[in-house]
């Protein structure tokens, strides 16, 4: 049987009221909802199950601390076709409430002005050739002469005017420290170097293997020969490690094994990494007076048994 035809058959057999009740009863445990029931509800021509599925997605995003951008997209694209009076204004207020609650308040689209260049993208940098002095020792100078000449790199100013800001790569903006450039707070960890709960092992620098330190020279690559006398500073290259300070053999990294990564301590417990937002910042509910909280075919609550009031404007209900 073709999939498209099967989908139409399931929709035709679904009881909108029963489907709405099943979803409403699972708002507190969104992950327990049967995916097929949710899919049927989202595609239903009846407003009530579609609306219940939308609210379920909001509940799930709040419970999981993620998926906010996807939920906002669902809110923005939700169709109020066959909905009760006031559905359009209600959805607008609900969408506004949702974004206001979960979108980063510390930045604009994940970016803040660079604190080094004050958002200009360029600044005056100290000249590296003269260390900001404006003058350098001439190349041919010998001994302890105090002779200096004007630095050619900065023309004697000691700084390089209007250089590209290294802190923001000349853009004038940096990723917001609050959301790390992800204003929907969909990133789980607050550490930029964390990728899916793992960070590069500092012991082996992500290689997974280590070259043991040379015991002959104590990792210095050079040592004082046995025949040296007095306070002589004579040192020779270590033959054991060929002056590298480490041996050529590679050992398994005891910290990470061989994969080069370890568990991120900042988000080792996923619970700590979640962005927290209270559902009350998005919406509140009250028993429906139209059906006395019994759900069913009710225009005031669309069969939910409760009236949903957007936090941005509680007056914008369905009826």
Which whole number is the average pLDDT over 135-161? 79
Evaluate whether residue 198 is within a structural domain: no
Which whole number is the average pLDDT over 211-234? 77
Evaluate whether residue 218 is within a structural domain: no
Query: What pLDDT is stored for residue 145 in this prediction?
Result: 63
Q: Give the whole-angstrom CA distance, residue 37 versus residue 13.
A: 12
CB 260 within 8 A of CB 221: no
List residues bridging with 252 in a β-sheet. 209
Evaluate whether residue 166 is within a structural domain: no
pLDDT range class, residue 274, cuts 50, 70, 90:
low
Computed over every residue of the chain, the mean pLDDT equals 83
pLDDT higher than threshold 80 for residue 157:
yes
Residue 257 is classified by DSSP as B
Query: What pLDDT is stored for residue 159 in this prediction?
Result: 86
Which residue has tokens 């420290």?
177
5-14, 39-48, 130-139, range with the lowest pLDDT: 5-14
Query: What pLDDT is stored for residue 113 in this prediction?
Result: 94
Q: What is the pLDDT of residues 243-257, one digit of tens each?
A: 888 888 888 888 887
Q: Give the whole-angstrom CA distance, residue 135 versus residue 144.
A: 16
What residues have CB less than 8 Å from 287, skipping those under 6 apart? 293, 305, 306, 307
Evaluate whether residue 260 is within a structural domain: no
Q: Give the whole-angstrom CA distance, residue 98 versus residue 101.
A: 5
The segment with the largest mean pLDDT, out of 58-67, 97-106, 119-128, is 97-106
Evaluate whether residue 283 is within a structural domain: yes
Evaluate whether residue 27 is within a structural domain: yes
pLDDT higher than threshold 50 for residue 11:
no
Which whole number is the average pLDDT over 286-308? 82
pLDDT higher than threshold 70 for residue 192:
yes
Evaluate whether residue 134 is within a structural domain: no
Evaluate whether residue 73 is within a structural domain: yes
> What H or E segment, with its residue span, contains residue 112?
strand 111-113
CB 228 within 8 A of CB 245: no
Q: What is the pLDDT of residues 19-52, one digit of tens each?
A: 888 888 888 888 888 999 999 999 999 999 999 9
Q: Give the whole-angstrom CA distance, residue 315 versus residue 92.
A: 12
List residues bridging with 257 in a β-sheet. 253
In the chain, how many domains are there? 1
pLDDT higher than threshold 80 for residue 201:
yes
Structural domain of 37? 3-105+278-310
pLDDT range class, residue 5, cuts 50, 70, 90:
very low
CB 301 within 8 A of CB 307: yes
């Amino acid at each position: 049987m073709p999939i498209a035809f099967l989908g139409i058959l399931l929709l035709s057999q679904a009881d909108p009221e029963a489907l709405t009740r099943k979803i409403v009863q699972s708002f507190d445990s969104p992950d327990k909802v049967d995916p097929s029931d949710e899919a049927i509800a989202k595609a239903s021509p009846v407003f009530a199950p579609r609306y219940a599925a939308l609210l379920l997605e909001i509940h799930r995003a709040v419970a999981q601390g993620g998926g906010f951008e996807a939920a906002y997209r669902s809110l923005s694209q939700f169709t109020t076709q066959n909905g009760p009076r006031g559905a359009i204004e209600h959805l607008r207020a609900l969408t506004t409430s949702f974004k206001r609650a979960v979108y980063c308040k510390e930045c604009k689209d994940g970016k803040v002005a660079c604190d080094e260049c004050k958002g200009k993208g360029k600044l005056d940098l100290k000249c590296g050739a003269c260390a900001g002095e404006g003058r350098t020792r001439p190349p041919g100078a010998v001994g302890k002469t105090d002779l200096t000449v004007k630095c050619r790199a900065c023309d004697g100013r000691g700084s390089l005017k209007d250089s590209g800001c290294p802190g923001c790569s000349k853009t004038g903006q940096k990723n917001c420290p609050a959301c790390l450039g992800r204003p929907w707070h969909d990133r789980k960890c607050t550490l930029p170097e964390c990728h899916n709960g793992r960070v590069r092992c500092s012991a082996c620098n992500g290689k997974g293997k280590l070259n043991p330190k040379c015991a002959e020279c104590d990792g210095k690559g050079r040592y004082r020969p046995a025949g040296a006398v007095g306070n002589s500073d004579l040192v020779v290259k270590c033959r054991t490690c060929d002056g590298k300070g480490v041996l050529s053999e590679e050992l398994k990294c005891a910290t990470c094994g061989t994969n080069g990564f370890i568990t991120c301590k900042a988000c080792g417990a996923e619970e700590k990494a979640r962005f927290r937002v209270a559902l009350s910042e998005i919406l509140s509910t009250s028993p429906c007076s139209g059906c006395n909280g019994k759900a069913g075919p009710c225009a005031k609550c669309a069969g939910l048994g409760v009236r949903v009031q957007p936090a941005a404007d509680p007056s914008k209900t369905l009826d």
